[in-house]
Amino acid sequence: MGRSKLAKFAAIAERENVIEPEGELYGQLKGKWRDEFFENANPLILEIGCGRGEYTVGMARLYPDKNFLGLDIKGARIWKGSSLAEEEDLHNVAFLRTFIENLEDNFAAGEVDEIWVTFPDPRPKDRDIKRRLTSPRFLDLYAKVLKPGGILHLKTDNQMLFDYTLEVLQERQPKELLYTHDLYQSDLQEHTMGIYTTYEKRYLAEGIAIKYLQFKV
Ligand SMILES: C[S@@+](CC[C@H](N)C(=O)[O-])C[C@H]1O[C@@H](n2cnc3c(N)ncnc32)[C@H](O)[C@@H]1O
């Protein structure tokens, strides 16, 4: 790696708005995100598999009175969101590099107000079903960290994943399940704040309808 690349990575490693798995803070903020990280009592909202974090930062820009955390395992992607948040001097947003499987390492029961799962990989093969981010084991994890009455949102372009998720949910009988197969032709678009993820912009440009659901745990 060249000198300038090394310097860039050193700068990234010091970012205050990115929590890395090897870093001192990983796991230490469980139950303390509001008091010790954001230093306020505002609601805590997660984006699961946030990629470049455009949606996380977009929400933070729109709602300065809420705290936002984007979670993804791909560091190079979340650094983009981290840079954007730094450029805009946003203090209500940060990123956590982690596998979603390890959610409970970083969040206490009931600590989270809302979770957005945005354009998760559909994982169409049977052998990968349990790796889908809306499979029962992930829904169980989300339910543990969400407060009672907390909300889970899903946005996807993928009909198979959407139907699969509805099927899984209907077995669990969630409270107040709302859904649409074409978000931007539906009143439910009011819930999605008029901002788009990186993948969503691509799908919309291709004319693909966005499927959306939300429910209370
Ligand atoms: C298809 S991309 C969507 C990115 C973003 N939400 C968007 O809409 O632009 C899915 C993202 O989920 C992340 N991801 C998938 N499975 C994950 C897991 N088990 N733990 C952490 N991140 C995961 C990937 O790294 C990737 O960035």
Which among 118, 121, 200 is the best mutation to test ligand 1's pocket, defined by most ligand atoms within 8 Å of the CB?
121
- Give the least confident one: 14-18, 140-144, 150-154: 14-18
For 109, the 3-state DSSP assignment is coil
Q: Is the CB of 72 under 6 A from ligand 1?
A: yes
Report yes or no: 151 and 214 within 8 Å, Cβ to Cβ.
yes
> What is the 62 CA–ligand 1 centroid distance (Å)?
23
Task: Indicate which CATH number applies to the domain containing 100.
Answer: 3.40.50.150
* pLDDT at position 142: 98
User: In the numeric block, which tokens belong to residue 85?
Assistant: 């948040």
Residues 69-127 have pLDDT tens digits of 999 999 889 999 999 999 999 999 999 999 999 999 999 999 999 999 999 999 999 99
**Count of domains forming the chain:** 1
Region 15-21 average pLDDT: 91
User: In the numeric block, which tokens belong to residue 119?
Assistant: 């354009």
* pLDDT at position 126: 94
Percent above pLDDT 70 for the chain: 94
CA–CA separation, 2 vs 6, rounded Å?
6
Kindly state the greatest CA–CA separation across the chain: 55
Range of the structural domain that residue 186 is part of: 3-216
* pLDDT at position 173: 86
> What is the 49 CA–ligand 1 centroid distance (Å)?
3
Report yes or no: 177 and 213 within 8 Å, Cβ to Cβ.
yes
Torsion of CA 26, 30, 33, 35, to 10 degrees: -120
Checking if the pLDDT of 40 tops 90, the result is: yes
Asked if residue 89 belongs to a known ligand binding site, the reply is: no
* pLDDT at position 174: 86
Which among 106, 119, 183, 192 is the best mutation to test ligand 1's pocket, defined by most ligand atoms within 8 Å of the CB?
119
Checking if the pLDDT of 163 tops 90, the result is: yes
Percent above pLDDT 90 for the chain: 85
* pLDDT at position 20: 93
Region 177-195 average pLDDT: 92
Nearest atom in ligand 1 to the alpha carbon of residue 49 is 12
> What is the 135 CA–ligand 1 centroid distance (Å)?
15
Asked if the interface predicted TM-score (ipTM) of this complex is over 0.90, the answer is yes
Nearest atom in ligand 1 to the alpha carbon of residue 199 is 9
For 76, the 3-state DSSP assignment is helix
Give 3-state DSSP helix, strand, coil % of the chain, rounded to 5: 45, 20, 35
Residues forming beta bridges with residue 213, ordered by sequence position: 154, 179
- How many other CB atoms are found less than 10 A from the CB of residue 26? 17
Among 35, 65, 113, 121, the active-site one is 121
Q: Please measure the distance between the N-terminal and C-terminal CA atoms of the chain and give it in whole angstroms.
A: 47
**187 is a catalytic site residue:** no
Q: Is the CB of 128 under 6 A from ligand 1?
A: no
